[in-house]
Amino acid sequence: MAVGLLLPLACAWAQGPVEVRLTNLPTVHIQTLDGGEVTSKSTYKWASMTIADDEGNTTFDSVQIRGRGNSTWNMAKKPYRLKFPKKQRLLGPERANAKSWTLLANAGDKTMMRNALASDVGQMLGMVFNPGARFVDLYLNSTYRGTYQISDQVNINKLRVNITEQKYRVRDPKTNVSGGYLMEVGTDGGEVFVTQRGVRIRVYDPEDSIGSLQRDYIRGYVQSFEDALFGKAFYEKKKGWMPYVDTTSLVNLYLANEIAANADGFYSTYFYKEKDDPLLYWGPLWDFDIAFNNCGRLGDVTEALMLDRGFGDNLMKRWLWQMWQTPWFARAVINRYEQVYADGLDAKMLARIDYYERLLSQSAQKNYAVWGISRRAYEEIVLFSTYKEYVDYVREFVPKHNAWLLQKFHTMEPQEPTRPFSTDTNNVYKFYNRGVPTSVMGLTALGRAGLYTATESDTAQQWIVRPAGEYFVLQNRQTGHVLTDLGENLQGVSTMTYNPNYKRQLWRIEPRTGGFYNIYNVGTGHVLDNSYNRATEGNAIISYASGNDDATRDNRLWRISFYEDRQKPIEEGVKAEQAIDYALTYNRTTGRVRFLAGDVSQLTFQAQVYDLRGRLVARFMASEGYDASVLPAGTYVVSWNFAGRRHSGKFMKR
């Protein structure tokens, strides 16, 4: 009945007066059937729509319009969603032919170009689908509403997310339900499940038609991916999580969010799975209005990773932190960014900013006559009095942030995974903290654990690591007492007489990359932590609640180094100087490089370790030696100056 009443009126609209353009942009006129405001995000209103552009006037009847967005819906300048009775190509012949479209208000972005610029970045990276942008001046019920952006709705479509659409609920268990699924890591709504690691997943499609067979399948598949990501062999290409992901789309989506400094990029992340395809694909990009240094909650992010500062700690970032512990993923990210940067990333982005400024300047004057150019709408960090100043702010940010990313990624060059820890009770060990690399775990006068500058002969800094089933007991050499977690209230770590039935004296040693370990207490589940990462002598070592960032927090990472071991002089490449009673040694079992002498304290020189490319990989004092177990396999050259001469020797790490 409603459609029957609407159609005659739609014809009357089509015969109405010719609409005129307000600026150089197309002008869109939308008239609701009842003449009232659009007040709901769930209930559509019937309307007519006319686009006035270079081709003249194009009128659409029986259009439906409703509100859209989450936080953006609460702003004065509202975003909308449009639905047409027939498929339309609102962005031209090369873009999607679809019924559903969005009208983005870009209210929190004074340049109104951030979403479009982010899509351009996606295109520069080679992402398969990037939402389009057609900027227009909008009138709703004959009232001017400002500059808007017609863009794609993220849904299944041959020129959007091109996967198999499951239109019907499946009840036959023999039916192939392997795809397609369009999903989001993040926000509320739709069919939702939560992984065992607490990551919340929304299934966008199929939504209304999803049945228990489809729901169980996709939940189980995503869980299998997560299990592989956090499994013991996660870093292996064949046994880890790589077989579950399309690496190209994953790396490109990650980089697009870092290049744009998108605070919401890992809070809301789209991904999808196609039928009969084992891979999860990542994208499309969406929601960049608080990107490019436009989020007041984060402040200036010119020199910041969204992996660290962005939102979504319990969402996509929970996965990404683990992904970054995988050498092949880290290398793929770094290599891809170096390639894109060298291919003119700055120049390409700046050219697009210039283009949007020319395109939008005239319309922006009209827009901000209504909405106020210097009035804060949402998260803006800075406020200016002209449109050009806002554009220049983005223009200055882009090359600075891109250059910083290049340097930052170089520091994140991956190291090989650390081998699982095994102990020899005939040896004693020292525990070096990564945050204060010259300091080790020792004991205070009261028997508490503290951090101290490594001293050669201090037995309070030496530990015997005894196996206890799958766990370990850490016994101090000086006192004979064992490391004990005192519990949650004090968060203190002390030493006590050994009790084989006391779980707070048992520790799990978890390998991380670069030769470091996290050390967890079995009784409390807490992680061994150098409090506040301080270098103060005797700084407290505590047990702290475990978190997703254990593997990246320097104060929670420990290098377990042999203190006393059997060393053999290297037989090749190094000869003891005839006039000097010392020799360079390398122990293939322990991986330790060390100078031997009657009194090693007399060896006051520093030695350097180089790989065969001539890159410096380490320095160490001759009197202390070096733990080369952290290095990847290969041949290395040790070089040093002594008695006025340059000396060198080689060792091979297998």
**Whole-number Cα distances in Å, 355 to 133, 348, 351, 557:** 13, 11, 6, 48
pLDDT digits (tens, 9 = 90+) for 473-482: 999 999 999 9
- Average pLDDT over all residues of the chain: 89
State whether 438 and 541 are in the same domain.
Answer: yes
Domain boundary (152, 182, 214) is at 152
pLDDT in tens, 341-377: 999 999 999 999 999 999 999 999 999 999 999 999 9
Taking the C-alpha atoms of residue 97 and residue 214, their distance in angstroms, rounded to an integer, is 27
Query: Rounded to 5 degrees, what are φ and ψ at 359?
Result: -70, -40
CA 245 from centroid of its chain's CA atoms: 15
Per residue in 99-140, pLDDT tens?
999 999 999 999 999 999 999 999 999 999 999 999 999 999
Residues 558 and 589 in one domain: no
Q: What pLDDT digit, counting tens, does each position of 375-416 carry?
A: 999 989 999 999 999 999 999 999 999 999 999 998 888 766
Whether residue 649 lies inside any domain: the answer is: yes
Give the pLDDT band (50/70/90) at residue 28: very high
Same domain assignment for residues 558 and 590: no
Distance CA 250, CA 245 (A): 7
Q: What pLDDT, on the 0 to 100 scale, is given for residue 10?
A: 34
Residue 16 confidence (pLDDT): 42
Is the same domain home to 530 and 623? no
CA distances from 505 to 472, 474, 509, 522, 581 (A): 8, 8, 13, 8, 44
The helix (run of H) or strand (run of E) holding residue 57 is strand 56-67
Q: Tell me the three state secondary structure of residue 430.
A: strand
What span, in angstroms and rounded, lies between the C-alpha atoms of 481 and 514? 30
Query: 446 and 486 in one domain?
Result: yes
Residues 41, 87: one domain? yes
The confidence score (pLDDT) of residue 89 equals: 96
Over residues 576-622, the pLDDT tens digits come to: 333 446 778 888 777 888 888 767 777 777 888 887 766 777 888 88
Task: Judge if 140 and 108 occupy the same domain.
Answer: yes
User: How do the residues of the chain divide into helix, strand and coil, expressed in percent and rounded to 5?
Assistant: 25, 30, 45
Instruction: Name the pLDDT band for 575 (thresholds 50, 70, 90).
Output: very low
Number of H helices, E strands in the chain: 9, 31
The answer to the question of residue 323 being in a domain is: no
In angstroms, rounded to a whole number, what is the distance separating the alpha carbons of residues 419 and 437? 20
What three-state secondary structure class fits 554?
A: helix
Could you tell me which residues come within 8 angstroms of residue 368 by beta carbon, excluding any fewer than 6 positions away?
A: 387
- Say if residue 133 is in the same domain as residue 56: yes
pLDDT-derived band at 68 (thresholds 50, 70, 90) equals very high
In a domain, 25, yes or no: yes
Give the pLDDT confidence of 224-249 residue by residue, as tens digits: 999 999 998 998 889 999 999 999 99
* CATH at 441: 2.80.10.50
pLDDT the model gives residue 610:
80
CA distance 136 to 26: 5
pLDDT in tens, 131-189: 999 999 999 999 999 999 999 999 999 999 999 999 999 999 999 999 999 999 987 66
Query: In this structure, are 26 and 97 located in the same domain?
Result: yes
- 131 belongs to a structural domain: yes
- Domain range for 133 is 2-152
548/624 same-domain check = no
